[in-house]
Amino acid sequence: MTHPDVLKAAQDNLWMHFTRHGSYAGAEVPMIVRGEGAYVYDVHGKRYLDGLAGLFVVQVGHGRAELAEAAAKQAQELAFFPLWSYAHPKAAELAHRLAELTPGDLNRVFFTTGGGEAVESAWKLAKQYFKIQGKPMKTKVVSRSIAYHGTPQGALSITGIPGLKQMFEPLVPGAIKAPNTNLYRADEISGFPGFDKEPEAFGRWAADQIGKAIEMEGPDTVAAVFVEPVQNAGGCFPPPPGYFQRLREICDQHDVLLVSDEVICAFGRLGTMFGGQKFDYVPDIITCAKGLTSGYSPIGAMIVSDRLFEPFKTGNETFAHGYTFGGHPVSSAVALANLDIFEREGLLDHVTVNEPIFRATLEGLRDLPIVGDVRGAGYFYGIELVKDKSTKETFDADESERLLRGFLSKALYDAGLYCRADDRGDPVVQLAPPLIIGPKEFDEIESILRAVLTEAWNHL
Ligand SMILES: Cc1ncc(COP(=O)(O)O)c(C=O)c1O
């Protein structure tokens, strides 16, 4: 197809995800045709800095021939075989490699095709595990306000964004919500003035709220807590100091599983292989996907502790759950080659060394009147936009609509930066670039953001 033909096909036949198709009526759909390193190119040949690694995915950057070759080689050797009572070498090797990289005794890997399926699998396993333990009432889960955990109906129940759920109610029952760790808005969230200046006290309070939710439901009915190391939706909420240590204590006290949803935070996004390693906690289950192959082929995984696999190790117990394409041979081969790149190029160290420079560069934007907060960790940041910095007043729904959808997303893209303006909580610009970038690209991101955010302010 020629370029005009694919643009027409996108208008006529393609159903894009989470997309208001009406906004493209009479306008061209943005069409990305190729990528190289940290940059992607559209159908007209225009270049964009990929400030979101596609969708928190392309850790090693675009256009890596060796990942394409790993895929081709595997497709030729064994394109497909399922993991349903059979194994193939690449899935076994990848499971072994992941088990070596995880903290603690998280040694058992159940592959999926993506993140939502990993979350779904974790909830199902938690339910079955407790049934086997003779605690059949332990079925509910606690997660945090504004967190995104995927779109299958169980994962969507766990998701804490009402606007994404309402059209699909009733969802899976038994998913309870607790406050998140938005330190910038800690006063509002907790009701305690000054908590935004006391991260440790706020962290303790926020973790204790999860404990209270468990107690209110009855610990005998709660199976798991689902949390991201750094919560993405809402605009990058890192955990305050001590938060995860307290949460681990609470989960242990109530015999509740701690599920670390690392669909974004694993594979170097925070400078560590797994997100929990950045904050010194060991969960019972890790869910991951995205960066495991840097997006060169889809895969996800639920990685569980020896304790959780124990009942399935001998006897007749079966986890009656699976996906045709879970642990696909091509994706497994690509994941192994991707992890080779991580090692060979020292990507974790690269992120850790550059993290303070990236942070400082973005912090520089705080002099703009529209920038209320800059927060995040590793190569993962959110910039919260406000109407009034002194009061932290946010934009109302109309202003947010005009600012984010009407102006910001397109203006940033037109200026050559692909990233995301999001209003699933307060309005934020999200950044999660490929892990290969450095100070030169940080400066490019900063200067585009500075120009566009200045214009956005004048636009209001
Ligand atoms: C934390 C988290 N969990 C789950 C998901 C769902 O992953 P997927 O879109 O691969 O199903 C996402 C997707 O962004 C995510 O960020």
pLDDT digit string, tens, across residues 324-376: 999 999 999 999 999 999 999 999 999 999 999 999 999 999 999 999 999 99
Instruction: Provide the residue ranges of all domains of the chain, joining segments of one domain with +.
Output: 31-51+347-459, 67-345
Q: What are phi and psi of 112, to 5 degrees?
A: -130, -170
Ligand 1 centroid to Cα of residue 289, in Å, is 8
SS3 196: helix
Residue in the block written with tokens 């969960």: 283
Q: Which of 138, 155, 162 is nearest to 221 (CA)?
A: 138
The answer to whether 267 and 292 are in contact (CB under 8 A) is yes
> Is the shortest distance between the CB of 351 and ligand 1 below 6 Å?
no
Q: What is the pLDDT of residue 7?
A: 95
Query: For atom 3 of ligand 1, which residue has the closest CA?
Result: 149
What are the residues whose beta carbons fall under 8 Å from the beta carbon of 313, sequence distance 6 or more? none
Mutating to test ligand 1, I would choose from 263, 292, 293, 323 the residue with most ligand atoms within 8 A of its C-beta, which is: 263
Q: Which of 31, 35, 26, 36 is nearest to 14 (CA)?
A: 31
DSSP 8-class letter at 403? I
> Is the shortest distance between the CB of 115 and ligand 1 below 6 Å?
yes
Q: What is the pLDDT of residue 29?
A: 95
Q: Which of 451, 434, 352, 365 is nearest to 49 (CA)?
A: 434
> Is the shortest distance between the CB of 148 and ligand 1 below 6 Å?
yes
In angstroms, the CA 401 to CA 21 distance is 16
The answer to whether 285 and 385 are in contact (CB under 8 A) is no
> Is the shortest distance between the CB of 116 and ligand 1 below 6 Å?
yes
Residue in the block written with tokens 């675009």: 62
The superfamily CATH assigns to domain 31-51+347-459 is Aspartate Aminotransferase, domain 1 (3.90.1150.10)
pLDDT above 70 as % of the chain: 100
pLDDT digit string, tens, across residues 139-197: 999 999 999 999 999 999 999 999 999 999 999 999 999 999 999 999 999 999 999 99
pLDDT above 90 as % of the chain: 93
In angstroms, the CA 255 to CA 41 distance is 50
SS3 254: helix
In angstroms, the CA 422 to CA 74 distance is 38
Is 422 a residue whose pLDDT tops 90? Answer: no
What is the third-level CATH fold of 67-345? Aspartate Aminotransferase; domain 2 (3.40.640)
Give CA angle at 143 (137, 144), nearest 5°: 155
> Is the shortest distance between the CB of 254 and ligand 1 below 6 Å?
no
The answer to whether 315 and 138 are in contact (CB under 8 A) is no
In angstroms, the CA 189 to CA 144 distance is 12
The reply to whether the predicted model has a pTM over 0.85 is yes
Q: What is the pLDDT of residue 406?
A: 80
DSSP secondary structure string, 85-109? S---HHHHHHHHHHHHHSSTTEEEE
> Is the shortest distance between the CB of 228 and ligand 1 below 6 Å?
yes
Q: What is the pLDDT of residue 289?
A: 98
**What pLDDT band is residue 260 in, cutting at 50, 70 and 90?**
very high
Chain-centre distance for alpha carbon 420: 13
The answer to whether 303 and 105 are in contact (CB under 8 A) is no
